[in-house]
Structure 1
């Protein structure tokens, strides 16, 4: 079975596309201070094209890196994972869809094509894409997180037919460019979230089913599958030292899959679920009591209230969260009316929440509009978020 020890290294070269920009840009910007060498990456779509993009907090700058290699024109990739290890960003798995224009070009229709096992690595410093060994099991909508210099994945959907998750898990060793199987979870899950916390790889929530065997049934009797709020609200943790999975009942508590869960200074934070990426506040997890509670001074009914430049008619298009030091960075996009009533533009904003702010002394929330590599800092048309984001700290 796979080990979770070691450090990241290079992978076989694929091609050089995009640019990593300057190495350590310490211009005044979104976070200042220690954010000069930080990059935050996420994947979007404009029409029928995926776009790999980068936000630099130190320079308060947002730019497009380029497309995702191997995704054909007129196709988009969904349900994949984006995760950072060292100075590299990995794009893992996903569901490939053909995108056709409908309703006169204002709407798109997606048709599933296949489930991918492809793994790509983007070298942030060199601005270069590299091909990695593929997943042992093609999958999408799965849990993924770096753990001890490796990348762990678990759960997800492996087929376009039906909605039944998998219990299979595996781990990637970048130094050897190899995926190795981990023990199966006790539940089959998809739309679950992965986070490394207290040394263990946590697979939280999702649509889950457990297997139950009837001891009195004759041999060969099919195993019964059971799904309830008990399974969907639980988490499974891979204990790196013992090499086994452990169940935490009620860790998520809600019967709705989480959206993102991140670890900051030994604590877990969440801001929404798969139905609402922003629930109106930041929640922090108490492991001893096994409950989530509202973080002090985090409550905001709408994050757009932080931006005075947005018109009242602005609609939130996307929201994703990354960790930089002790701050939560929320990369948000808002749809605003264009020059005429029939066009729309996307305004990209960044909101940050300081998890260590002292109430009454340091404001917890701040908001800023990044400089863009587009005219007037706006983008024509609607922009779709197709991944969570991850942050990379470049060494000096």
Structure 2
């Protein structure tokens, strides 16, 4: 990643307090913390690690099993103990056009699972998914990894209701009961010990649902009546997209929460911090300039107090033509770390480089005593310094050693 000329990287003062107890990161206790995410630069994927204590990015290496000239999309990256798991995804062949832009062609839906041992620095293979999928919900829950929804096929935009769970001790996947809705581009998060599958493009699996009933009746109705019935479909689908399905691990059953997400657009990322669910945007706008918090009793999202990001000097130093290429957040204790990359021009030959910035928000800070927001410009280890425009193809996760 590039750096802004003249800006010195400042290492944040950092005290490790462990990750959220809701299962969205590594283990508790003191030690070194790494935030892991998968990027694409050119025709390959790589796993990279940001270390808050050193304010440094380093490249771990290319993802195993991805052929040269191909990239993986729509997969999940999740931490369990000392391991970072890369699960499923959509394999694409990447070719560069005459104008320098990359063109991706879908090749296959993958069920492969690999994991990186953050303590030993080694890759290993795990049992594959029972149902290959991409754009699905995934989260650690109770010492296991839960997966639900997603797309199973490259043809057609339809999700699956299938769910499964990975037990690292047993080394395999087991099927969970199906959800009541088929979903893809949904978000997974564990909250109060239960696996939540939130939003996404959804449709009921029940033939008695309003959408299914309207579609069946419209097929047999006269043209005028059919048009009126089909007008019901967007409204019904919007109600399903704004809902969430919650798996109770103790009881082994799914429950549905109508209107939990509220928006017709799928969420980008939801995390649990100190017993609260937080979000910073949706699929169309991954960063809205503030953090939103969910009220489970009222079933509404609202802007978190003091969470609007102020004007930051590092952001102001970016050239006016800079474009944000990626934005993701990770939980470390009570801190939210926002990892962002900006594409800026490199020289006069029309090339680009990626400038990395990190913003941290202390969810427990008293604004009267200490500003909740801080920004840093990380350094990149020498092996990882490259020009080019980077793409983020996964959300990130944190591991504490």
Give the TM-score, by structure 1 length: 0.87
- CA contact 1:320–1:388 (8 Å) conserved in 2: yes
- CA contact 1:307–1:368 (8 Å) conserved in 2: no
- CA contact 1:99–1:110 (8 Å) conserved in 2: yes
Aligned residue number for residue 16 of structure 1: none
CA deviation vs aligned residue, 1:46-66 (integer Å, no higher than 9, x gap) = 110111100000111101111
- CA contact 2:148–2:164 (8 Å) conserved in 1: yes
Q: How many residues align?
A: 359
1:235 and 2:217 are equivalent in the alignment: no
Aligned residue number for residue 392 of structure 2: 385
1:267 and 2:276 are equivalent in the alignment: yes
Aligned residue number for residue 67 of structure 2: 72
- CA contact 2:198–2:243 (8 Å) conserved in 1: yes
Distance 1:316 1:90, change over 3 A: same
Aligned mate of 1:39, from 34, 48, 59: 34
Distance 1:213 1:336, change over 3 A: closer
Task: Write out aligned runs for 1:190-229 (5 A).
Answer: 190-214=184-208, 227-229=236-238
Write the distance in 1 (CA, Å) between the matches of 2:372 and 2:337.
Answer: 12
- The offset of 1:31, in angstroms, is 4.6
1:365 and 2:377 are equivalent in the alignment: no
Aligned residue number for residue 58 of structure 2: 63
Aligned residue number for residue 254 of structure 1: 263
Distance 1:197 1:214, change over 3 A: closer
Structure number with the bigger relative contact order (C-alpha 8 A, sep ≥ 6) is: 2
- CA contact 2:180–2:206 (8 Å) conserved in 1: no
Identify, as 1 or 2, the structure richer in helix: 2
CA deviation vs aligned residue, 1:264-285 (integer Å, no higher than 9, x gap) = 0000000010111101211011
- CA contact 1:345–1:378 (8 Å) conserved in 2: no
- CA contact 1:39–1:57 (8 Å) conserved in 2: yes
Distance 1:191 1:214, change over 3 A: closer
CA deviation vs aligned residue, 1:5-63 (integer Å, no higher than 9, x gap) = xxxxxxxxxxxxxxxxxxxxxxx833512275100000000110111100000111101
Aligned residue number for residue 183 of structure 2: 189
Give the TM-score, by structure 2 length: 0.85
Aligned mate of 1:30, from 4, 12, 15: 12
CA deviation vs aligned residue, 1:251-297 (integer Å, no higher than 9, x gap) = 00000000000000000000010111101211011111111110112
Aligned residue number for residue 309 of structure 2: 300
Aligned mate of 2:136, from 132, 142, 160: 142
- The offset of 1:379, in angstroms, is 3.6
CA deviation vs aligned residue, 1:310-349 (integer Å, no higher than 9, x gap) = 2233211110100011010001101112121512111111
Gaps of 5+ in 1: 1-27, 216-221
Aligned CA-pair RMSD: 2.2
Write the distance in 2 (CA, Å) between the matches of 1:305 and 1:233.
Answer: 37
Aligned residue number for residue 226 of structure 2: none
Write the distance in 2 (CA, Å) between the matches of 1:305 and 1:204.
Answer: 35
Distance 1:233 1:306, change over 3 A: farther
Which range moved further: 30-39 or 323-332?
A: 30-39
Aligned residue number for residue 316 of structure 1: 324
- CA contact 2:314–2:377 (8 Å) conserved in 1: no
Write the distance in 1 (CA, Å) between the matches of 2:257 and 2:156.
Answer: 27
Write the distance in 2 (CA, Å) between the matches of 1:102 and 1:311.
Answer: 27
- CA contact 1:347–1:379 (8 Å) conserved in 2: no
Gaps of 5+ in 2: 1-9, 18-30, 210-215, 220-231
Write the distance in 1 (CA, Å) between the matches of 2:188 and 2:151.
Answer: 15
